[in-house]
């Protein structure tokens, strides 16, 4: 807490803080939107997928190549899937991208599972959210279509 005698130090401290925040704001805005740490490495396995909101409120995940349904999550289920999709959809809206481009679900040689948005270049490391959450997406790599 500042006392009356500390007022002389308050203005220089706040000025310094404002300068630091300004520099972080300017530099942070110029950083690339995604970092490709894998270079030219190809995933061990991948599948292009699309996410759709059904009229009953469920989320439908389709194979982007043949449009077969890989999974359905009713309204009260699939919270991690819904959250991941919302985050990527928000990025697309902010960048003025449509829903046309599919997402790439990929597992890498080191076991990392990622969900990449080809429209924005964003990547979610699904393994960072634990085995249970990543497992929901991992099953989509080998899922057989319904339709």
Q: Where are the domains of the chain?
A: 45-141
What is the pLDDT confidence band of residue 30, given thresholds at 50, 70 and 90? very low
Mean pLDDT taken over the chain: 80
pLDDT tens-digit series, residues 60-73: 999 999 999 999 99
Question: Which residues share a beta bridge with 109?
Answer: none
Cβ atoms of 97 and 86 closer than 8 Å: no
Percent of all residues in the chain with a pLDDT value above 70, rounded to a whole number: 72
Among 8-12, 38-42, 87-91, the range scoring the smallest mean pLDDT is 8-12
Question: Which residues share a beta bridge with 107?
Answer: 45, 113
Q: Which two tokens stand for residue 6?
A: 């500390």
- 38, 52, 66, 73, 139 from 46: Cα distances, Å: 15, 19, 15, 21, 12
pLDDT of residue 38: 57
Q: What pTM was estimated for this model as a whole? A: 0.69
């Amino acid at each position: 807490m500042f006392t009356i005698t500390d007022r002389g130090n308050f203005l220089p401290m706040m000025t310094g803080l404002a300068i630091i925040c300004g520099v972080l704001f300017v530099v942070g805005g110029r950083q690339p939107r995604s970092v490709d740490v894998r270079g030219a490495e190809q995933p061990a396995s991948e599948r292009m997928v699309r996410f759709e909101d059904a009229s009953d409120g469920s989320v439908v995940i389709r194979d982007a190549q043949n449009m077969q349904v890989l999974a359905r999550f009713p309204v009260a289920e699939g919270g991690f899937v819904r959250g991941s999709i919302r985050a990527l959809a928000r990025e697309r809206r902010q960048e003025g991208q449509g829903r046309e481009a599919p997402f790439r679900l990929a597992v890498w040689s080191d076991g990392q599972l990622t969900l990449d948005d080809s429209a924005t270049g964003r990547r979610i490391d699904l393994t960072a959210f634990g085995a249970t959450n990543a497992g929901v997406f991992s099953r989509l790599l080998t899922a057989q279509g319904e339709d």
